[in-house]
Amino acid sequence: MADTPADLMRLVALMHGFRSTQTIYVFAKLGLADHLADSPLTAAELASTVDADPASLGRVLRLAAYYGVVTELREGRFELTPFGQPLRSDAKESIAPTAIMLGQEHYRAWGSLLHAVIRGESAFQHVYGMPMFDYLAKHADAQADFDAAMGSGTEVFLRSLVGLYDFSESRLMVDVGGGNGSVSAVILKQNPSLEAVIYDQPQVLDAADRYLTAAGVRSRCRLVPGDFFSSVPDDGDLYILSKIVHDWDDERAVRILRNCRTSMKPSAAVLLLEAVLPEHGRPSVATMFDVNMMVMLTGRERTEAQFRSLLAGADLRLTSVVAISDRLSLIEARHP
């Protein structure tokens, strides 16, 4: 049992976390932060704008006030707080797309965490009847939400990347599983002589075209459709895989890495952007990402030793691991 009332209250708060997840999801899905950006509004005024029930929306807004997203003013008006500003779609570091993604498919899949623990299989596939990426390919709205979430906050999390790694000697970067190109965009903005190939499934490349155009780097990118389990484009100086390897079990992860190894020049490097699990005994946010991979896919987060072994299985040598943030590291690998 928790030792102090404070410990007990913290435990209770963790138990109730699903309620804050759904409150913030509804707030983001309905775009309430955008509607409150200029001035406070009543629940009725907001409801008429977003086509919701005024009484029900008012009750959720009061809960959002409890969580600190809005402040309830006199006469039933609600004002967006500084804490809630990142839920605006036009915020520079908007997290609204992530809030939407987590409140939808992720939320339902995590509801079957017990199934994953008992059966040792993907909770997402149990709930939706197919693997996650197959589901996204069949549901354009879900794919769009996923792509937006993957780009959400990219510059925040990768702000220090360009200062930690020297991209100046490279001519061509192959972004393997590059999605909407948000990671490449961060790197290209700071390296004007670098070009990129965004390599991913055909259905995601339209989003890459739009994102890279808006970022002002589209002219230095080629969008190439393909399947990284079969092959990857040749002759890159860098092969960057951002949160790709963790999606897959060891066998399929090695297959992707081996395809990079086959296509890369002798002088080229493979760069993995991944969470690195600490060895046992130290709590880490990477454990949350690890269980998320268990729920949503068939992959896992890995320790540095496990990455070293995984890369060796693809005939690659781990050369460095550099922390970018508390949740992401840059792992470099080269020819043996």
Torsion 259-261-267-268 (CA) sign: positive
pLDDT in tens, 102-161: 999 999 999 999 999 999 999 999 999 999 999 999 999 999 999 888 877 666 667 677
Structural domains for the chain: 5-87 (1.10.10.10), 154-334 (3.40.50.150)
How much of the chain exceeds pLDDT 70, in percent? Answer: 97
SS3 (DSSP) at 164: helix
Query: How far apart are alpha carbons 120 and 122 in whole angstroms?
Result: 7
pLDDT value, residue 279:
87
Token duo for residue 68: 């600190």
Helix (H) or strand (E) holding 72: strand 70-72
SS3 (DSSP) at 69: coil
Token duo for residue 155: 């510059």
Query: How far apart are alpha carbons 48 and 54 in whole angstroms?
Result: 8
pLDDT value, residue 102:
96
Cα 334 to Cα 87, 154, 195, 232, 325: the distances in Å are 40, 25, 20, 16, 23
SS3 (DSSP) at 88: coil
In single-letter form, the type of residue at position 296 comes to M
pLDDT value, residue 121:
95
Q: C-alpha angle 101/19/15, rounded to 5°?
A: 115
pLDDT value, residue 3:
64
CB-neighbour burial class of residue 85 (10 A; exposed 0-12, middle 13-18, buried 19+):
middle
Under-70 pLDDT residues of the chain: 1-3, 153-157, 159
Which residues 6+ apart lie within 8 Å of 287 measured at CB? 277, 301
Mind giving me the DSSP string for 90-152?
TSTT--HHHHHHIIIIIHHHHTTHHHHHHH-S-HHHHHHSS-HHHHHHH-HHHHHHHHHHHHT
Its pTM stands at 0.89
- Residues marked as catalytic: 246
pLDDT value, residue 318:
98
pLDDT value, residue 156:
61
Query: How far apart are alpha carbons 139 and 211 in whole angstroms?
Result: 20
Task: State the maximum Cα–Cα separation within the chain, in Å, rounded to a whole number.
Answer: 69
Cα 167 to Cα 123, 181, 182, 240: the distances in Å are 39, 17, 17, 12
